Amino acid sequence: MPNECLLPESFGPLQGVKIVSTGSLIAQPFAAELAAEMGAEVIQIERVGVGDTGWRNIGIRLPARDGAPPVATTWVQERRNVFCVTLDFSKPRGKEIFLELAARADIWMESSKPGTYPKWGLDDATVWEVNPKLVITHVSGFGQDGDPDYVARASYDVVGQAAGGMMYQTGFPDPTPPTRAAPWTGDYITALFTMWSSLAGLTYARATGKGQAIDVAQYEAIHKTMGGTMLEYFQQGVVRERSGNRAQGFQPLDTFQAKDGWVVMGALADVYKRLLGVIGLDANDAKWEIARTQLESIEGIEFDAILRGWINERSVKEVVDAMAKGKVPCSPIMSSRDMAEDPQYRARGVHVEWDDLQVGRVKGIGVVPKFSKTPGQIVRGAVGVGHDNGRVYGELLGISTSELASLQRDKVI
């Protein structure tokens, strides 16, 4: 008798939600993992024999148990609570197995170039035949339709940042080249759009009994976060340029060097007057109001020099403490070491330990955000390629042990 629940316990606000995830690397699978940490049952499908060759191996790797290949730290951090199986969609039995999984799911998330799944006979209409309520979320670089040249293009995080407008504004003015936002900001933005839109689709499906397809284009998700950039262009012909860490049109909002490190600080409206008091300037002196918005004026240049000199004479802690006392937003620019030792990170329990099934006991970023009544949990760590084939295909779908062995021999799973 098939077991309809893979999770050992129910928890979190998404308990009872079943997600099939078939993407690789970052954006779409990260969205699914966020759901898994909040109690959704997530089945991640990877390539037979090799898995997600990119995200399992890219970057710094940790030694695995029992002489297994090392595992990337990003995989250990970002595949918790997820059930990992392998499946070849291009084979007839692989297609059948996928449809059996889709029939039991609430959401199917995938990331690929448009046309990938239809060529395997898994177009949306076919999948809806087995589950009309299914929410299907397609994630791609440039969308499911539009200019044929763009639709066919592959994309990575940095490509999305460039096409979406983020990279043009990130970094310092020419001749310094545009800079990507690190570590993989474009992909993580896309993941958040993927997750909220999937849940919005699920809300509709549960109310109406009707699933729908969601088209998440990476460049559009990034573009959506560009604030007034396009309004400025369409209404006034203004192209917003790079300005480094400094804000355009007012000060201060920038990075500043203290005696032993860097801080970031901003002071708008009434906060600006409080900052003047902290650094010993007269808030009633009209020239400092000129300095606030006319950055290249004599007054603006003088204010910037005074502020930088005041900060440079003090330690990071002295600057941050003085600004906190004066209610001026300010923070050290923190490294991994700084964050690990920071009292606020510790007080809120941001960093936690858990058992990873591949590398053992680890410590990293916990579950966020925090829910008062249905908090998320880490019920298990990341796993190896095909680790859950037997459990998912055997327990959930009821496939016999002998057939599982045959499917493995034929490289269907």
Rounded to 5°, the CA angle 352-354-357 comes to: 155
Q: What is the pLDDT of residue 206?
A: 97
Give DSSP secondary structure letters for 207-222. HHS---EEEEEHHHHH
CA distance 247 to 304: 13
Residues tagged active-site:
187
Q: What is the pLDDT of residue 1?
A: 44
Show the DSSP H helices in 342-384 as ranges. Answer: 343-347
What does pTM read for this prediction?
A: 0.93
| HSE-CB of 247 using CA atoms within 13 angstroms | 15
Q: What is the pLDDT of residue 66?
A: 79
- 306 conformational bin, left if phi > 0, alpha if psi -120 to 50, beta if neither: alpha
Q: What is the pLDDT of residue 5?
A: 80
**pLDDT by residue (tens digit) across 126-136?**
999 999 999 99
Which domains occur in the chain, in start order? Answer: 18-225+349-409 (3.40.50.10540), 253-335 (3.30.1540.10)
**Cβ(136)–Cβ(48) below 8 Å:** no
Q: What is the pLDDT of residue 129?
A: 98
Segments of the chain scoring below 50 in pLDDT: 1
**Cβ(240)–Cβ(208) below 8 Å:** no
